[in-house]
A and B are shown apart, each in its own frame.
Chain A
Amino acid sequence: MNSGKQKEILGRIREALKVSAPIPHIARRQNASQLVQPKAWLPAVPPDQAGQLALFQKNCLQLKTEFCLVRGTEEAGRVAKELREKYGWSLAASHHQIQLDAVVRTLGIETLYMEDQPAQTALEKCSVGITACDALIAQTGSILLTARSAGGRALSVLPPHHLVVAQINQLVADLPAAIDLFSARYDGDYPSFATFITGPSRTGDIERILVLGAHGPRMLTVILVQ
């Protein structure tokens, strides 16, 4: 298929830009790119890990993300088992990753693995999607994950419950730090998909009243391994 009117559109853009537009006052100062300092403008984040952990936890509470802090993979498995009983999970979906595998094994229920490419309809019937992630962001209570780190695109959005197993060293202060981490980790060889997840799926489209579980998971649980 053709690529359309690339030349014409770029030509019109260049023609239009021959007349310059007034520069915003901040850009008129010496070096505009150095003046863009999101870290100094965005909501403040404590500098130490304990403070960041507390902030992440507080954000989870507000966002209605379930948060479990555990010591070691063994306890993570135990907590996952408790969750299974609490929510009555019968079928899980996951992907292979060293720390994750240990937790999913102790869960002891039938599990579909994304590596085996289950059908979308099968994935949709799972009670829970269990994934790893790239980073947790204290500032916003967000989880950063990618198609490569978390078993593709559908696993973390199609089942009604999303369980994330994260490690304490994945906790970063703020959005700029998370983006730096993403750029450094994939360094030009990016996965086709990445997403910042902030709380369970929600909508306010009916009278601006908050409802959880609009299209994505109704429940989001983070197990953070210390």
Chain B
Amino acid sequence: MLSSFAAKFNTRATRLTADLEHRAKIRSALRSYEKARDEKKALFQDWEAARDGAATIKWEAVNHLDAYLGRFVEKLEARGTKVFWASNAQEARDYIVALAKEKGAHSIIKSKTMTSEEIHLNDSLRQAGYEVVESDLGEFIVQLREEAPYHLVFPAMHLTRTEISDLFHEKLHSAPTDNPEQLTMIARRELRLKYLRADIGISGANFGIAETGMISITENEGNARLTTALPRVHVALMGIEKVIPKLSDLALFLPMLATAGTGQQITCYNSLIGGPRQPDEPDGPAEFHLVLLDNGRTQLLADAEQRDALHCIRCGACLNVCPIFRNVGGHTYATTYQGPIGSVITPHLRGLMDWKHLSYASSLCGACTEVCPVKIDLHHHLLHNRRNAVARNPDKWERFAFRAFARLTANPGLLDKLVRLSRPFLPLVRAARQIMPPPIKGWLASRELPAIALRSFRNYWKSR
């Protein structure tokens, strides 16, 4: 039986794969990225060794996560950060909503954080009566459209400037323009007002540095800097797997994240935050709260075979090269994390049986594994998920079919005989393909049943 998620996935995928305009948009959006990524990769003295190094650092961190998290939190608390450990999405949301109430907040500004998408934070805050505004340009655009980010790094890559201009005209009453710079300035002006009014700024974190007790935020626009500088309270939301051992590890991760993620040598702003404003500093939030989120991550940690999926630095490189992503698009996944990494981890975060279909949304070409800067064995993990799903809930008919197949192939004489006997029925089978029930019909639709030779290879070999 298909889960309802799988059925929706199939419907959307079928529609979008045939949408040539959509495919052209994605291709053209990724063209400049590909060129820049290759140029920046070539600047490295040894990109492959750097990948090995990054994988080693992440392995060390994830496989000693309790120790590094302990150190990280201790250092943060020593400088006045309030750390909250959330087991699941509900606990994280409740904490942040309660905090907003306690601080008498009205308006909340957010910089890009996929973790907040994961826990559907905006909905909770809005239901509790707060104004929540996304400040990353791409996120701002998809928020105005009331849809989810299309891509975990490029949230609005599925939209043209004309669509964005129409959207701004409708929602912000701006004059129509097809100039990306003017569109950016419309958003800039709009959001400046929100920044100056916001009581709370919510950000994500790309890395947590255990050695010094700091979070590191990577961005290009400066919206994360404003979010963490202007409001009187800063809340950062971070998955527990984001911790790395040492500050010097950033010398490797910052350029690798930028190169793989956006094709830059390093992004425009890479900021370290280790607490609220200190006594000798002229500004900054009076309070800094860090929410550490588990939400299924420890379950993935317990799967030693797929533990390296927690190495992910969310660069999005695997999406950009994935032939499936490029055809079905980001929204089809209906997950927080799209593409190969999303297909690997979503079954762990949201349930294997509901999300196992994503493991089949792959040609197993391995392009994702090849580009991953931290060397996650992505396409093999898709196979692992398939295997685990079958083991959890074996399909009776499938098992019967494979047993029969095994029996037949183990007995070549019988196989030969059956194949010969079935020859006269071949035209009938071909004709019947139209009236076969699904899923056989679908399976046959893209496959040609070959003609059966008059003489089998076995027979021929014997008589030679």
State the A residues within 8 Å of B (CB).
Answer: 1-6, 8-10, 12-17, 19-27, 32-33, 35-38, 40-44, 59, 95, 114-115, 117, 120-121, 124, 140, 142, 147-148, 151-155, 157-158, 174-176, 178-180, 182-183, 190-209, 211, 213-217
Chain A residues near B44 (CB-CB < 8 A): 41-43
- What is the size, in residues, of chain B's interface with A at 8 Å between Cβ atoms? 115
The interface centre, meaning the residue of A41, A175, A182, A196 with most chain B CB atoms within 10 A of its CB, is A41
CB pair B56 A26 closer than 8 Å = yes
User: In the complex, are the beta carbons of B248 and A140 less than 8 A apart?
Assistant: no
Contact present for A41 and B47 (CB under 8 Å)? yes
In the bound assembly, the distance between CA atoms of A4 and B375 in angstroms comes to 33
Q: Which residues of A contact B367 (CB under 8 A)?
A: none
Docked complex Cα distance between A17 and B65 (Å):
9
Which residues 88-104 of B sit at the A interface, judged by CB distance below 8 A? 91, 95, 98-99, 102
Of the candidates A9, A38, A43, A140, the one whose C-beta lies within 8 Å of that of B87 is A9
A162 to chain B, nearest CB (A): 10
Interface pair A215/B226, CB less than 8 Å apart: yes
**CB-defined contacts of A152 to chain B, threshold 8 Å:** 229, 277, 281-284
Of chain B, the residue at the smallest CB distance from A32 is: B56
**Can you list 5 pairs linking A and B with CB atoms under 8 Å apart?**
A13-B69, A33-B60, A179-B247, A216-B221, A216-B225
User: A16, A43, A117, A199 — which one has the most chain B CB atoms within 10 A of its CB?
Assistant: A16
Pick the contact of A26 from B55, B164, B214, B288 — CB < 8 Å? B55
B10 at the interface (CB under 8 A from A): no
Q: How far is the CA of A94 from the CA of B395 in the complex (A)?
A: 70
Residues of A within 8 A of B59 (CB): 21, 23-24, 27
Report, nearest first, the 10 A-B pairs whose CB atoms are least far apart.
A216-B222, A153-B229, A214-B221, A16-B302, A205-B138, A4-B85, A12-B298, A41-B50, A175-B251, A114-B282
A38 to B247, CA, bound (A): 13
Complex Cα–Cα for A190 and B154 (A): 33
| List of B residues within 8 angstroms of A23 by Cβ | 59
Of the candidates A17, A153, A174, A199, the one whose C-beta lies within 8 Å of that of B268 is A199
Contacts of B270 on A, CB cut-off 8 Å?
195-196, 198
| B interface residues with partner A (beta carbon < 8 Å) | 28-30, 32-33, 43-47, 49-50, 52-53, 55-57, 59-60, 62-66, 69-70, 73, 79, 82-87, 91, 95, 98-99, 102, 135-138, 141, 154-157, 159-161, 164, 180-181, 183-185, 187-188, 191-192, 196, 212, 214, 220-223, 225-226, 228-230, 240, 247-252, 254-255, 262, 264-278, 280-284, 288, 292, 294, 298-299, 301-302, 304-305, 307-308, 375
Q: A1-B82, A13-B298, A208-B154 are in contact. Are A179 and B251 (CB under 8 A)?
A: yes
Which of A176, A183, A196, A203 contacts B184 (CB under 8 A)?
A203
Q: Is the CB of B46 within 8 A of A215?
A: no
Q: Are A208 and B32 in contact (CB under 8 A)?
A: yes
Report the minimal beta-carbon distance from B251 to chain A, rounded to whole angstroms: 4
> Which chain B residues border A202 with CB–CB below 8 Å?
220-221, 268
B226 surroundings in chain A (CB, below 8 A): 154, 157-158, 215-216
